[in-house]
């Protein structure tokens, strides 16, 4: 990262001070260490997930925080698209990105405030960052190779760091880039280091998490000395978690899964998950890096009994490892509310359709 790109952020202090003046404390931030993340348990909330879809670009709901707290959960991951508060034209081709839409930013402020009120830790994640998103459409240039995108990505995280400076790490953390894919480790590490340096110029003690490589599934040992936690995923095997998922090519042709599951010569069961997917991340944890399962879950067409058996094996493994988790999602096709599973007898819960069996399973772990 070239020095002049950081110089472009000179106006951030003024923007942040206007946005949230109460957050300018200079005392040390209380809270957890990235070397040993708490076993936070909760859900992904999708109100800022995709700017172009009305249902996924609206204010967060206080009732979600209230219900999570009522049921004993303490973590909300907010996967967000930067396009919810600024257009591509506001950064691409600009010497300095233009300020975000303040009304949209206040909706995020409100979610952070509700997290504090209900004792729910809020984890801000850029699902779409300048230069990269795991979902289409593609960004105009690549974050991994283009200095303009990297400068804008650093600016974006510095803006958020300034806006929320002083909020304790018990209440707020950052998860930088959702599910990096099709990028080598050296390029990914370069980008993460630049963003982290930018954040720490503004808020040196902010708790920061980086997703693993290859869609979040592979630990990044090249970041182990950066004082970061790392976020993994819990979707393996995809034949269970993503059966008939419209965005996964060929998934509609898979046979209806069981659990355990035989795929060719491979027997998929709890021990295979432990051996093939936990072990590399446990090795990272032994190097002094805190681990959290930022996303996991089972799509609505997997038979409910199969989904619950698979979920229980995942949950018990993470409990043994001391890792927290965040289900994708709270309301929707993977969640405990309004998932539209064809084989569930839902409970009417204050006007929402509640999967009580799944909820009680999650509460046990």
Measured CA to CA, the distance from residue 46 to residue 280 in angstroms comes to: 29
For residue 334, the SS3 value is: coil
Alpha carbon distances (Å) from 71 to 68, 122, 154, 323, 362: 5, 17, 37, 19, 10
Q: 173 pairs with which residues across the strands?
A: 123
Upper half-sphere CA count for residue 125 (Cβ side, 13 Å): 31
Q: Is 1 exposed, middle or buried (0-12, 13-18, 19+ CB in 10 A)?
A: middle
pLDDT at 37: 97
Q: The domain that contains 360 carries what CATH number?
A: 3.20.20.80
- How many structural domains compose the chain? 1
Q: Can you give the pLDDT at residue 248?
A: 95
Q: What does the block give as tokens for 78?
A: 């907010």
Q: Give the pairing of strands 172-175 and 208-211.
A: parallel
DSSP state of 275: I
Instruction: Write the DSSP symbol of residue 48.
Output: T
Contact 338, 331 (CB under 8 A): yes
pLDDT tens digits for the chain (365 residues)? 333 333 333 344 333 333 333 333 344 455 799 999 999 999 999 999 999 988 889 999 999 999 999 999 999 999 999 999 999 999 998 888 999 999 999 999 999 999 999 999 999 999 999 999 999 999 999 999 999 999 999 999 999 999 999 999 999 999 999 999 999 999 999 999 999 999 999 999 999 999 999 999 999 999 999 999 999 999 999 999 999 999 999 999 999 999 999 999 999 999 999 999 999 999 999 999 999 999 999 999 999 999 999 999 999 999 999 999 999 999 999 999 999 999 999 999 999 999 999 999 999 99
Q: Using CA atoms, how far apart are residues 360 and 356, in angstroms rounded to an integer?
A: 6
Give this prediction's pTM. Answer: 0.92
Host domain of residue 335:
3-364
How, if at all, do strands 229-234 and 261-263 pair? unpaired
Is the previous residue joined to 109 through a cis bond, with omega within 30 degrees of 0? Answer: no
How many whole angstroms from its chain centre is CA 126? 8
Quick one: how far is CA 81 from the chain centroid? 12
Q: Which 3 state secondary structure label does DSSP give 75?
A: strand
Distance CA 230, CA 216 (A): 9
User: Please, what's the b/e burial string for 107-136 (b: 16 or more CB within 10 A of its CB; e: otherwise)?
Assistant: bbbebbbbbbebebbbbbbbbbbbbbbeee
């Amino acid at each position: 990262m070239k020095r002049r790109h950081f110089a472009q952020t000179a106006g951030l202090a003024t923007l942040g001070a206007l946005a949230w003046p109460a957050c300018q404390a200079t005392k040390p931030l209380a809270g957890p260490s990235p070397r040993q993340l708490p076993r936070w348990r909760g859900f992904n909330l999708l109100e800022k997930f995709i700017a172009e879809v009305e249902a996924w670009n609206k204010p967060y709901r206080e009732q979600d925080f209230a219900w999570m707290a009522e049921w004993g959960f303490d973590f909300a991951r907010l996967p967000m698209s930067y396009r919810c508060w600024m257009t591509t034209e506001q950064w691409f081709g600009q010497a300095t990105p233009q300020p975000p839409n303040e009304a949209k930013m206040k909706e995020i402020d409100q979610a952070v405030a509700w997290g504090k009120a209900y004792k729910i830790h809020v984890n801000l994640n850029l699902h779409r960052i300048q230069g990269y998103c795991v979902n289409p459409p593609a960004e105009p240039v690549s974050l991994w190779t283009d200095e303009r995108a990297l400068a804008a990505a650093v600016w974006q995280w510095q803006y958020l760091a300034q806006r929320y400076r002083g909020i304790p790490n018990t209440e707020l953390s950052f998860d930088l880039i959702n599910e990096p894919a099709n990028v080598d480790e050296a390029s990914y590490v370069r980008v993460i280091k630049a963003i982290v340096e930018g954040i720490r110029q503004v808020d040196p003690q902010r708790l920061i998490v980086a997703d693993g490589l290859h869609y979040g599934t592979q630990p990044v040992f090249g970041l182990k000395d950066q004082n970061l936690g790392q976020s993994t995923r819990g979707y393996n095997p995809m034949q269970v978690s993503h059966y008939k998922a419209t965005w996964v090519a060929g998934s509609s042709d898979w046979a209806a899964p069981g659990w355990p599951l035989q795929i060719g010569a491979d027997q998929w069961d709890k021990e295979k998950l432990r051996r093939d997917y936990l072990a590399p991340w446990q090795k990272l944890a032994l190097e002094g890096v805190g681990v959290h399962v930022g996303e996991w879950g089972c799509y609505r067409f997997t038979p409910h009994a199969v989904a619950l058996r698979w979920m229980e094996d995942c949950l018990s493994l993470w409990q043994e490892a001391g890792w927290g988790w965040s289900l994708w999602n709270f309301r929707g096709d993977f969640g405990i509310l309004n998932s539209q599973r064809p084989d569930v007898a839902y409970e009417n819960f204050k006007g929402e359709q509640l999967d009580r069996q799944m909820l009680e399973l999650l509460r046990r772990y």
